[in-house]
Structure 1
């Protein structure tokens, strides 16, 4: 090989290793993934042009040199990354077990969860490797029950992981990763959840519950089964539409899916297989052609922006129904004219609808599935409700079996199956006697942790009494964390719990709940997919008037 070619190969190799060790190994690059891809695509294009020119003209070492330099740069970059991740990474030194290929790249993980079953894939890894598993180049999945207090407790220095940059460049409370920004925005949101505000929200919820009841009653009188997945999700989105924009999606009254909600749910399916790789999400949403689910995402975001502007133009009084999220976050403090306020609200409104609708709908569906499979629990609840006002939350809060059923459902059917990853900062974190190094993503799968036999006796069984008359069945309460803790805890927890109590109380008091002919209830779990929030399968139930 000519000396000049060796020189060019050497230059490319040095540049590739330098790019890794001096640039890409430091900081976060997921948000810059589109720019990185464009740069390296241009590099390959330049090399290809150089090759063509060197073939089409008299031999010219300069063109050939560009080709060899580019090729060796990329090869050396990939080789340096692979060698470092396999043998020299801080997690390798920590001796965290796990499949070797996940140390190199998360792309293998994407392939394994292509059917959006990340919760099952991670549970399989737990059974094979234990409580601490290296599931990525800089990621550890922790199944130890102490993980929640360690990453979200009051003394934790952990921050939200790269996944939360999903909306970049837009902002929202849920996706804010900077602690000071998140804390400031969280204080703004607290105005939406004062006692007075909750009463106003619950008045709207009661109207939506009446709509849900009318749908079920019509089916009951016609001796038809109710398709509960549709009804629960229609109810959830209608209620959140009123919470955010003071306008329902009208799915319960129209008895059909709103086109934007259909698009939004299709768009969220992208998060199932791509959640393990935030950089791929950035590539897809920012560089991908606006077709298929990417088009659905952009059109959902565009609709939300338009609806927000229309809501601001209408004003709270014109739409009626009392103050909504927009009123508390913008109108009440006079931010309506501020560009940054609107910028925040575009992201906040979209995620508020998703984060408020899907989890509530999913848990309600799971509750009715379990009550249909365990009619004795429904009857215990009915006995509590006989002389009670099913619309009075003070009364419902004192009903032990009602609250136990909800807690047990939240344990078995966590809203975030594997989502909610955190990232350690410069000090790292200690969990269950194991040290997690700095700048490491920590995944804490509630699906697995809340079903640990060493934390809950008969962990896979639906036993509400563990929360009332048999507390000894709870071996480690630290494993139960449905709404997160500390400064990252769910702000809408009280509202969500109130909604579930009101819906369940009204329907159990009015109906006997039975599985429809041919329905076993297994479809809810068997058809469940993990797309950050859980998305369950179908369920057909028969409601019989008492």
Structure 2
């Protein structure tokens, strides 16, 4: 039985840290088993997830975040240079933002330079990420076709599993490139070089993978025990650090374009802050984190176009749960749809209107903050929220103060809405904008 619950009360009951609802037994997450390895997003056991999440959180300590900010600023500078080089020409924003996020992910995730923004084109990896998410969305909760195909030797080389298997191979390559080993078998590596496992990672490579590898190579790993644990969270970095931020940024530029008064107020706030920075004309994310209107614009974009879409399901405990005074039996699959919840008039006044002021001067327009869960909630909430917010703030702050922008010729903003797809994550359609440099 499937039950969709559009209730703020259900958020804590189903996704809260003390919730007894589980991911186990649904089949949805079991299909991601990679020889015993699961990613942060697909781990079903709460204790195992807690250990993995601790490592993810450690990877975003203040020292690490300061280093990542340098990487993110580099990705933003490359984007600004690209815009300047094609000034006045149409830029397709859904693709452009994906390339910016992809370049940023390469640096902070793997210390890897992709150069996608500069080249103006993606890679095979970007195509495979999109194909994988689309296949998951097409199957929905139907898991047996994947299990059957994986169990039949050779069948996975054809049809919808082909891209998934290729994406797995790329994930292995990424992990092993950082491990700097040539064999893919843990047993072979340990047989050939007993000290390899316990040798700490190169301290010069300060990225998210460093923290995974340090645990993996420790004498008593807490979470990254198998090769496949590394592979699966390599995929988490590739997908979660790319598609989510890119989609939100695309929508944000769309809303600024159709609401020039909002864009004007945002530019005014950021320009004032930019003139007061310690280093002339340069922002720190710490500066931007305190700008109320900038963060309101980002939050409103996250609310009205949450990338999480329908969210992932949970199974109620045997004794059931109570939501809004109603008892829901045990062993029921429940879903709290982020998209529907964030756009529900019960919790947000004028829910389909883009109103950043609801997060600043008009707090009465948010009737129940519990319904605002663009990064999900509880123990399985987005581990990369700080990284995503930093990227979005820096991209927006530099872009809107360096350039003005509007619809390109023959663009009316219809395609981004019309062609939006829910492919596990909600991906916007195309948006063609034209940028012109602001006068000094």
TM-score, normalization by structure 1: 0.71
**Structure 1 residue 218: Cα displacement:** 1.4
Looking at structure 2, the residues matched to 433 and 248 of structure 1 have their Cα atoms a distance apart, in angstroms, of 53
Encode CA deviations 1:473-499: one digit per residue, 9 max, x unaligned. Answer: 112222111112221121111111111
Alignment of 1:451-466 (within 5 A): 451-466=343-358
Looking at structure 2, the residues matched to 246 and 165 of structure 1 have their Cα atoms a distance apart, in angstroms, of 31
1:279 is aligned to 144
The more displaced of 149-158 and 458-467 is: 149-158
2:303 aligned residue (406, 411, 416)? 411
2:393 aligned residue (474, 490, 501)? 501
**Structure 1 residue 472: Cα displacement:** 1.3
Query: Residue 387 of structure 1: SS of its match in structure 2?
Result: helix
Query: Residue 494 of structure 1: SS of its match in structure 2?
Result: helix
1:377 is aligned to 262
Alignment of 1:59-78 (within 5 A): none
1:224 is aligned to 89
Query: Residue 193 of structure 1: SS of its match in structure 2?
Result: coil
Query: Residue 161 of structure 2: SS of its match in structure 1?
Result: helix
**Structure 1 residue 538: Cα displacement:** 0.7
Query: Residue 270 of structure 1: SS of its match in structure 2?
Result: helix
2:233 aligned residue (348, 352, 355)? 348
Query: Would you say 1:263 and 2:128 are equivalent positions?
Result: yes
1:67 is aligned to none
Encode CA deviations 1:446-480: one digit per residue, 9 max, x unaligned. Answer: 11111111211111111111111111111222211
**Structure 1 residue 292: Cα displacement:** 3.9
- The count of corresponding residues between Structure 1 and Structure 2 is 405
Looking at structure 1, the residues matched to 171 and 148 of structure 2 have their Cα atoms a distance apart, in angstroms, of 22
Query: Residue 507 of structure 1: SS of its match in structure 2?
Result: helix
CA distance 1:355–1:398, shift in 2 (3 Å): same
CA distance 1:336–1:296, shift in 2 (3 Å): farther
Query: Residue 386 of structure 1: SS of its match in structure 2?
Result: helix
Query: Residue 234 of structure 2: SS of its match in structure 1?
Result: helix
**Is the 1:375–1:513 contact (alpha carbons within 8 Å) kept by the matching residues of 2?**
no
Query: Residue 514 of structure 1: SS of its match in structure 2?
Result: strand
Looking at structure 2, the residues matched to 522 and 285 of structure 1 have their Cα atoms a distance apart, in angstroms, of 40
2:191 is aligned to none
Alignment of 1:77-476 (within 5 A): 138-160=1-23, 161-169=26-34, 170-220=37-87, 223-287=88-152, 288-313=155-180, 317=202, 322-331=205-214, 334-335=217-218, 340-389=225-274, 391-476=283-368
Looking at structure 1, the residues matched to 142 and 384 of structure 2 have their Cα atoms a distance apart, in angstroms, of 28
Encode CA deviations 1:283-303: one digit per residue, 9 max, x unaligned. Answer: 345544412432111011101
Structure with higher helix content: 1
CA distance 1:488–1:332, shift in 2 (3 Å): closer
Structure 1 unmatched ranges of 5 or more: 1-137
Looking at structure 2, the residues matched to 251 and 293 of structure 1 have their Cα atoms a distance apart, in angstroms, of 26
2:189 is aligned to none
The more displaced of 526-535 and 390-399 is: 390-399
**Structure 1 residue 424: Cα displacement:** 1.2
2:196 is aligned to none
Looking at structure 1, the residues matched to 392 and 378 of structure 2 have their Cα atoms a distance apart, in angstroms, of 23
Looking at structure 2, the residues matched to 337 and 310 of structure 1 have their Cα atoms a distance apart, in angstroms, of 23
1:98 is aligned to none
**Structure 1 residue 500: Cα displacement:** 0.7
Looking at structure 2, the residues matched to 534 and 454 of structure 1 have their Cα atoms a distance apart, in angstroms, of 23
CA distance 1:282–1:531, shift in 2 (3 Å): farther
**Structure 1 residue 243: Cα displacement:** 2.2
Looking at structure 1, the residues matched to 150 and 71 of structure 2 have their Cα atoms a distance apart, in angstroms, of 35
Query: Residue 196 of structure 1: SS of its match in structure 2?
Result: helix
Looking at structure 1, the residues matched to 226 and 250 of structure 2 have their Cα atoms a distance apart, in angstroms, of 35
CA distance 1:293–1:280, shift in 2 (3 Å): closer
**Structure 1 residue 337: Cα displacement:** 11
CA distance 1:441–1:248, shift in 2 (3 Å): farther
Query: Residue 348 of structure 2: SS of its match in structure 1?
Result: coil
2:279 is aligned to none
